[in-house]
Structure 1
Amino acid sequence: MADGALTPEQILDTAEDVLRRFGLQKTTVVDVARALGVSHGSIYRHFPSKTALREAVASRWLARVSEPLGEIAAETGPALPRLRRWLEQLIRIKRGKVLDDPELFAVYHALADEADAVVQEHVGKLVDQISRMLSDGMVTGEVRFSDPRAMAWAVLRTTMVFHHPAHVGHWSLPEADVDRAFDDIFDLITRGLTPTEA
């Protein structure tokens, strides 16, 4: 491949493949360059360091999680059904990643541990999306709290067992068991968020 034709997306695609094959600790910028048939200097023209390349890979991976969720958050309609679909989609995405490609998921989990700023930005996006839905629910009277951001954090933390990589061991349980547990948690969330009747 000619160095001039190289794009950041090609580098990231190849970095993903190399990471899958060799793992995080054994993958170098030279490995990625070799797989592309270019010099490692070509990689550094797009990503100034190994850390920058790793952060870009992690950021792209996390965007694959947050972007489809953002579409649900941006929809109109009742807030709590949207929130439920949003959470179900988050669970489906995360569970799918670990069950479909456990090696790559392990690499991304390790990458995320190194890329704290990237992860914090991602979590901030998730909180913003939940907050948006809860704000919509406040306007319609569907949600009773006046601090949607605080409640968004509470929702994210309450459902962490379903989507945080630290709980990956639970994700291999039968889907029916996971669904039942989620139903119970979401019922609790709904009861906590909705106005009480006088």
Structure 2
Amino acid sequence: MSDEKAWDTRYQESTRIWSGNPNVVLVAEVADLPPGRALDLGCGEGADAVWLAKRGWQVTAADISTVALTRAAQHAAEAGVTIDWQHHNLEKTFPEGEFDLVSAQFLHSWDEFDREQILRRAAAAVAPGGILLIEGHMDHGPFPHEGGHEVRFPKPDEVIRSLELDGWETLKADVHPREQTGPDGNPAIRTDSTVKLRRA
């Protein structure tokens, strides 16, 4: 099964997979930024992109799943915002342009996935003075591991090193707990990481 089919199948399991709310870290780290051009990588059902657009950002949002993108477009229409939804397998194709904010929230996959290469392309798409915001998991939390490939969750300093950047300012690189409801419906604690960088 291709990655695209796997994600389409995942989204078809339910009428809505995610909460419909923007990611907490995105809200906390971006709320005070002046609106500009934003790129949302792995946008899923579109909650982050819609939140950004409602705050005045000009948003391009990309995902591998056409099922997710269809739902995201419906979400945007209901919210009364316009977003450039783009279908990409980010390992093969990438949105064009330069952006004041590039956001990669939980860009993981249960199969082999060249996350480092994608994040380097994400950094290259950041305009001078712009922000790269990367949120990742540090563990599986309450969810069992799926797929044949063991996902490795890098620490913030490992993420920054892998980007091979020059002339960037590190605004945040930390690990923090987050409460998440597990598949059994009970709350559990999961550990995530935040990397926030500004291009000179």
Q: TM-score, normalised by structure 1?
A: 0.26
Larger proportion of helix: 1
Q: TM-score, normalised by structure 2?
A: 0.26
Larger proportion of strand: 2
Q: Higher RCO, 1 or 2 (CA under 8 Å, sep at least 6)?
A: 1
| Larger gyration radius, structure 1 or structure 2 | 1
